[in-house]
Chain A
Amino acid sequence: MNAPLVEVRGLTKHFTRGGGLFQKGTVVKAVDGVSFSIDEGETFGLVGESGSGKSTTGRCMLRLVEPTSGEVRYAGEDVLAFSSSRMRAARRHMQMIFQDPYSSLNPRMKARDIVDEPLIIHKLGSKRERGDRVAELFRLVGLDPAHLDRYPHEFSGGQRQRIGLARALALEPKFIIADEPVSALDVSIQAQVVNLLMDLQERLQLTYLFIAHDLRLVRHICRRVAVMYLGRIVEMGDTEAIFANPAHPYTRALLSAIPVTDPDAPRQRIDLDPASVSRDAALVEVAPGHLAAVQ
């Protein structure tokens, strides 16, 4: 068996919020001792409610924010020890698709130039080749190349999200942290993009960390998944095993929130009682390869 491509051990990120001259700020433990590993070619899912620390975990792995402590290894190398120039070079292989493309799209640039920009920066292809590639990327994400010369405001919200995705895919990175790459897309187009992500994975041996809210989607794409709650992983294992036998109360609540597409099916929401979650419970094996933070 291969060594994992990506290994994260005890990753921790504390933010200090508020505070000032005479007052100590409160410490937010956004990520609190998170460990997991991802094999080459695998898609590993990270799910959890808003604010549970998913994006911060991803950002720490690429050092878009500096972790407070912990270890991140990529292909055996200690990413946290990279010099800043070494890190910049590494980021071409480790790309992040961001959650919020609105702020990342320059309103004064045409869609064409937004997608073209990373190709120019990394000097990939002649002007003509780049033009073809940009049009191809546009089609891949479900956009009409006839709209290439439009500005972001001339696209609907969903269409803007696709431009951001086309831009991120331009460099064909090796390891992609996809932070809710499709949550703003139409369900029908989500399917296209997810199929596309799966195709690209097969063709180019891509490895994904897939951060998502939509468990229906995660079930399709991720062989293994980790559930985060308040900065910690509370459950981790094979996706099917977790769907079949969720062990942690938060995971159960999360699964019960999946919209039911049958108008006649009974709704059985499980509300999470925060008192039922022990902050200190360590991950224990509840079944082979299935860990949960339960007593």
Chain B
Amino acid sequence: MAADVLLSVQGLTTVFDVGATPLVAVNDVSFDIRKGETLGLVGESGSGKSVTAYSLLRLVQPPGRIAGGRVVFQGRDLLTLPEKEMCGVRGAGIGLVFQEPMAALNPVMRVGRQIGESLVVHGLASSREARDRAIELLRAVKIVDPETRVDDYPHQLSGGMRQRVMLAVALACKPPLVIADEPTTALDVTVQAQILDLLREMKNTFDLSLLLITHDLGVIAEVADRVAVMYAGRIVEEGPVRTIFRAPAHPYTRGLLASIPHGRTGERLVAIDGVVPNLAHLPPGCAFAPRCASRLADCERAVPPEVRLADDHRARCVLHAATGAGADR
């Protein structure tokens, strides 16, 4: 493992014990995040992005369970850590920003206390200092008039302001890694743009690594250094953001790029036909095969191996099995 790797996820597998055979929501997922780097995780809804995020923090609730893999963070495997130490990692080591700030914030607690609370819990500040730190953090996330807003309840804030507060909560203990699960999906474009600018700025001021989860490749292009594309529980392509946008290898990635609206009035959008597969009835080979225009006979026989196309670019598709440098595992 390279020295500057902050988080190394290896063969992570998370299943849901529903029905006769467990549903594999996260299937042998591996990726690294280096210090100061932003990895974008993209995929359609149901592809397993959130379950991946929850698994990293061991927050998966039954009937879900982590069935295998390693999550090495700062040299320790989080999956074997005693729960007490894991509590220290949540918040202080890894901050989490959710899609729905309203569901994640406590509606009856002033935002200042919610921000300060984790500082107090992790023994990083006294209750008195916590309030001042909360004001500083609100200022850092560009909330106007933080001295007043610190005493607001979540419902008194707009959606964009709530998302800023969530970010302040996540940043409170200066964690080296922040996981942001669709942080801008619920926001309108102008606010989304402001939050993306803010994320970029926070990354620099706080020297953060970021796992940014989204279904919108437009968002990824603005913030990420590298991109991992997820489909039906697996990473199907991973590479530097430029490679993913300029030379996508996997037909699914190509489809995602093509479906971003970019044309003129009256033109039809380019959609990926078909539906996201039901995890309980995955096709035997490539899970994308039923929707793939480049499908070959081989595709439906076995799950395609992961092929390394360059040092920093891999894809799971038979189109590249012959051209690539061979499977890496």
Interface size on B, residues (CB 8 A): 51
Alpha-carbon separation in the docked complex, A221 to B265 (Å): 6
Minimum Cβ distance to chain B for residue A190 (Å):
7
Which 6 pairs from chain A and chain B are nearest by CB?
Answer: A158-B45, A259-B218, A191-B269, A191-B271, A257-B193, A216-B261
Q: Are A158 and B242 in contact (CB under 8 A)?
A: no
Question: Is B5 located at the chain interface by the 8 A CB criterion?
Answer: no
B192 neighbours in A (Cβ, 8 Å): 257, 259
Question: Is A23 located at the chain interface by the 8 A CB criterion?
Answer: no
The number of chain A residues touching the other chain, given as a range, is 35 or more
User: Secondary structure of the B side of the interface?
Assistant: loop
* Cross-chain pairs A/B with CB under 8 angstroms, 17 sampled: A158-B44, A186-B215, A188-B272, A189-B44, A189-B271, A190-B261, A191-B270, A191-B271, A198-B268, A214-B261, A220-B261, A220-B267, A221-B265, A257-B189, A259-B218, A263-B242, A269-B197
Alpha-carbon separation in the docked complex, A254 to B192 (Å): 11
Minimum Cβ distance to chain B for residue A201 (Å):
11
Q: Given that A50-B158, A219-B261, A262-B245 are contacting pairs, would A257 and B190 also be in contact in the complex, using a CB cutoff of 8 Å?
A: yes
Alpha-carbon separation in the docked complex, A222 to B261 (Å): 13
Minimum Cβ distance to chain B for residue A244 (Å):
11
A258 neighbours in B (Cβ, 8 Å): 189, 218
B32 neighbours in A (Cβ, 8 Å): none
Alpha-carbon separation in the docked complex, A272 to B265 (Å): 26
| Contacts A219-B264, A261-B221, A261-B257 supplied; 20 other A-B pairs, CB < 8 Å | A49-B188, A50-B158, A142-B275, A143-B275, A144-B275, A156-B45, A158-B46, A188-B215, A188-B255, A189-B272, A194-B269, A195-B268, A195-B269, A216-B262, A220-B266, A240-B264, A260-B218, A261-B262, A263-B221, A269-B193
Complex partner residue of B216 from A259, A263, A264, CB under 8 angstroms: A259
Q: Are B260 and A254 in contact (CB under 8 A)?
A: no
Minimum Cβ distance to chain B for residue A234 (Å):
14
Q: Mark A residues whose CB is within 8 Å of B.
A: 49-51, 139, 142-144, 146-147, 156-159, 184-192, 194-195, 198, 213-217, 219-223, 239-240, 253-254, 256-264, 267, 269, 272
Q: Mark B residues whose CB is within 8 Å of A.
A: 44-46, 99, 158-160, 185-193, 196-197, 215-219, 221-222, 241-242, 245, 255-257, 259-273, 275-278, 281
Which chain B residue lies CB-closest to A54? Answer: B188
B186 neighbours in A (Cβ, 8 Å): 184
Q: Which interface residue of B188, B221, B278 has the most chain A CB atoms within 10 A?
A: B188
B160 neighbours in A (Cβ, 8 Å): 50
Q: Are A261 and B256 in contact (CB under 8 A)?
A: no
Which chain A residue lies CB-closest to B267? Answer: A220
B263 neighbours in A (Cβ, 8 Å): 219-220
Q: Are B275 and A259 in contact (CB under 8 A)?
A: no
Minimum Cβ distance to chain B for residue A179 (Å):
13
Q: Are B278 and A146 in contact (CB under 8 A)?
A: yes
Q: Given that A191-B271, A220-B267 are contacting pairs, would A159 and B46 also be in contact in the complex, using a CB cutoff of 8 Å?
A: yes
Alpha-carbon separation in the docked complex, A143 to B277 (Å): 9
Which chain B residue lies CB-closest to A255? Answer: B189
Minimum Cβ distance to chain B for residue A206 (Å):
15
Minimum Cβ distance to chain B for residue A55 (Å):
12
A253 neighbours in B (Cβ, 8 Å): 190
Q: Which interface residue of A51, A192, A194 has the most chain B CB atoms within 10 A?
A: A192
Which chain A residue lies CB-closest to B240? Answer: A263
Q: Are A49 and B191 in contact (CB under 8 A)?
A: yes
Minimum Cβ distance to chain B for residue A133 (Å):
18
Q: Are B217 and A261 in contact (CB under 8 A)?
A: yes
B267 neighbours in A (Cβ, 8 Å): 220
Q: Are A260 and B221 in contact (CB under 8 A)?
A: yes
Minimum Cβ distance to chain A for residue B107 (Å):
16
Minimum Cβ distance to chain B for residue A259 (Å):
3
A261 neighbours in B (Cβ, 8 Å): 217-218, 221, 245, 257, 260, 262
Alpha-carbon separation in the docked complex, A111 to B257 (Å): 30
Q: Given that A50-B160, A264-B242 are contacting pairs, would A186 and B265 also be in contact in the complex, using a CB cutoff of 8 Å?
A: no
Minimum Cβ distance to chain A for residue B189 (Å):
5
Q: Given that A188-B44, A189-B44 are contacting pairs, would A223 and B266 also be in contact in the complex, using a CB cutoff of 8 Å?
A: yes
Q: Are A239 and B189 in contact (CB under 8 A)?
A: no
Q: Are A50 and B191 in contact (CB under 8 A)?
A: yes
Q: Are A139 and B270 in contact (CB under 8 A)?
A: no
Which chain A residue lies CB-closest to B246? Answer: A263
B189 neighbours in A (Cβ, 8 Å): 213-215, 254, 257-259
B216 neighbours in A (Cβ, 8 Å): 187, 259
B159 neighbours in A (Cβ, 8 Å): 50
Minimum Cβ distance to chain A for residue B159 (Å):
6
Minimum Cβ distance to chain A for residue B80 (Å):
29
